[in-house]
Amino acid sequence: MARQRALIVGGSVGGLFAAQLLRAEGWDVAVFERSGGALADRGASIGTRQELFDILRSIGIALDPSAGVAVTSRICLDREGTIIGELAVRSINSAWDRIYRPLRDALPDECYRAAMRVERIEQDGDSVTAVLADGARERGALLIAADGINSTIRALLAPDVMPRYAGYVAWRGVIEESEMSADEHALLFGRMCFALPEGELLLALGMPGRDADTRPGHRRYYWIWFRPADEARALPALCTDASGRCHGSSIPPPLVRPEVIRELQEDAKARFAPPLAAIIRRTRLPYPHGIFDVEAPRLTFGRALLLGDSAFVARPHVGAGITKAALDAKGLVEALAAEPDLAAALLRYDRERRAFGSALVARSRHLGAYLEAEAKQRGATERLPETVLREYGTAGKIDGR
């Protein structure tokens, strides 16, 4: 029997997981990635979960805990630097490139077409066609839209589904491990550290260094600080460069205005324990970006389906974007294996992955609700350290609840 062909739009982690798992089941795959080179390292720390390691292992990528920085506990620091909460939770904190790179390397180049933007799709009863920006047409039995939060394919198939601003931004930054003082390192590096000024949240932890280096002394210390910013004024102001150009809901790090960074550093000094404020002050290029929810009410459209961030984006508090993309791909392959009829398989994929994605988004919303810009008016700006330490992020299995 001729091998079935899957067209995959987007060559980041979601597209690569789908490509690898479908190939293992005998599918012919073609990944179309609009970006020309290797995808940029997002410089971000990635919380890992056991499910992620399991799926990577199933496609022959042996990634063990040495792929990241081990965290043994969570602490919460008050403004004076006193530990006001502590919980023993083990986790491994990795880097985006550490997951993306082996996935990309394991896929033969003939399956991966870089600098290929899919502009639209066409479908008939027997096939689906991707129409590329240069006019080329590619035909397959199935099309997987793994094209991210601003998905082109979702905009065509479900134009009403738009990313919804959550009412707050995440400031992110890193410093080199070697730039930390001995005291800062001893207090912070092997722990996930939280700080909870009113209506805000800071999370800081160790992560791999340049080229995903995990050798002691060569790693990095990463922080993410959630702060309310209303959509009409504060968000565009943060994302406007010195020439007056607004870059939307995020801004390239080198373009953040110096006065915005100075204000951030002053606010950090007023709100955080001295070691945390000092790390923020030493960070070279901190940058803000808006936090959004995406929730598609339907994942399949004939022979096309949404996967990963094109389907659901949960706020970073659940630290699950990559694992969810991997689980979506696994769910798709399992549905195709269980149901000989493609329509029935896609129905199953839609049912199972939609339930999971909706629950995950709801959970991330619950964890972030008190950060929303309007939360102050509702008087909901306080979170107890013990609740945050217990509920947050990446420990255990994702069950979406």
Q: Which residues pair with 290 in a beta bridge?
A: 169
Contact between 229 and 168 (Cβ < 8 Å)? yes
For 233-274, the DSSP string reads: THHHHHTB-TTS-B-SSB--GGGS-HHHHHHHHHHHHHHS-H
Q: Binding to ligand FAD by residue 319, rule CB under 6 A?
A: yes
Q: In sequence order, which residues have a C-beta less than 8 Å from that of residue 233 and are 6 or more positions away? A: none
Choose the binding region for ligand FAD from 45-53, 67-75, 107-115, 375-383 (rule: CB under 6 A). 45-53
The only residue of 5, 14, 69, 290 in contact with ligand FAD, by rule CB under 6 A: 14
The only residue of 8, 21, 46, 264 in contact with ligand FAD, by rule CB under 6 A: 46
Toward ligand FAD, which CB reaches closer, 143 or 322? Answer: 322
Toward ligand FAD, which CB reaches closer, 20 or 45? Answer: 45
Which residue, 243, 251, 240, 248, is CA-closest to 286? Answer: 251
The only residue of 140, 206, 286, 308 in contact with ligand FAD, by rule CB under 6 A: 308
Q: Binding to ligand FAD by residue 120, rule CB under 6 A?
A: no
Toward ligand FAD, which CB reaches closer, 15 or 85? Answer: 15
Q: Binding to ligand FAD by residue 146, rule CB under 6 A?
A: yes
Nearest residue (beta carbon) to ligand FAD: 321
Toward ligand FAD, which CB reaches closer, 157 or 320? Answer: 320
Half-sphere exposure of 104 (CA within 13 A, CB side): 20
- Structure tokens, 89: 């939770």
- Cβ count near 98 (within 10 Å): 20
Contact between 77 and 277 (Cβ < 8 Å)? no
- Structure tokens, 382: 């306080």
Q: Binding to ligand FAD by residue 20, rule CB under 6 A?
A: no
Q: What is the DSSP letter of 319?
A: -
Q: Residue 376: enclosing H or E segment and its boundaries? A: helix 375-378
Q: Is the dihedral of CA 237, 241, 246, 251 positive or negative?
A: negative
Choose the binding region for ligand FAD from 134-142, 145-153, 181-189, 236-244 (rule: CB under 6 A). 145-153
Q: How far is the CB of 10 from ligand FAD (least distance, A)?
A: 3
Q: Binding to ligand FAD by residue 44, rule CB under 6 A?
A: yes
What is the total residue count of the chain?
Answer: 401
CA 48 remoteness from chain centre = 11
Toward ligand FAD, which CB reaches closer, 120 or 245? Answer: 120
Q: Binding to ligand FAD by residue 309, rule CB under 6 A?
A: yes
Q: Binding to ligand FAD by residue 321, rule CB under 6 A?
A: yes
The only residue of 28, 39, 78, 129 in contact with ligand FAD, by rule CB under 6 A: 39
The only residue of 322, 329, 361, 371 in contact with ligand FAD, by rule CB under 6 A: 322
Q: How far is the CB of 149 from ligand FAD (least distance, A)?
A: 6
Q: Binding to ligand FAD by residue 249, rule CB under 6 A?
A: no
Q: How far is the CB of 56 from ligand FAD (least distance, A)?
A: 13
- Provide the pairing of β-strand 91-95 with 69-71: antiparallel
The only residue of 77, 89, 103, 118 in contact with ligand FAD, by rule CB under 6 A: 118
CA–CA separation, 91 vs 151, rounded Å?
31
Choose the binding region for ligand FAD from 5-13, 200-208, 238-246, 294-302 (rule: CB under 6 A). 5-13
For ligand FAD, what does the binding mask look like between residues 68 and 107, x meaning CB under 6 A? ----------------------------x-----------
Q: Binding to ligand FAD by residue 369, rule CB under 6 A?
A: no
Q: In sequence order, which residues have a C-beta less than 8 Å from that of residue 168 and are 6 or more positions away? A: 226, 227, 228, 229, 290, 291, 368, 371, 372, 373
Q: Binding to ligand FAD by residue 332, rule CB under 6 A?
A: no
- Provide the pairing of β-strand 73-77 with 191-195: parallel
CA–CA separation, 396 vs 89, rounded Å?
9
Choose the binding region for ligand FAD from 41-49, 193-201, 204-212, 276-284 (rule: CB under 6 A). 41-49
Q: Which residues bind ligand FAD (CB under 6 A)?
A: 9-15, 32-35, 39, 42, 44-47, 96, 117-118, 146-149, 152, 308-309, 316, 319-323, 325
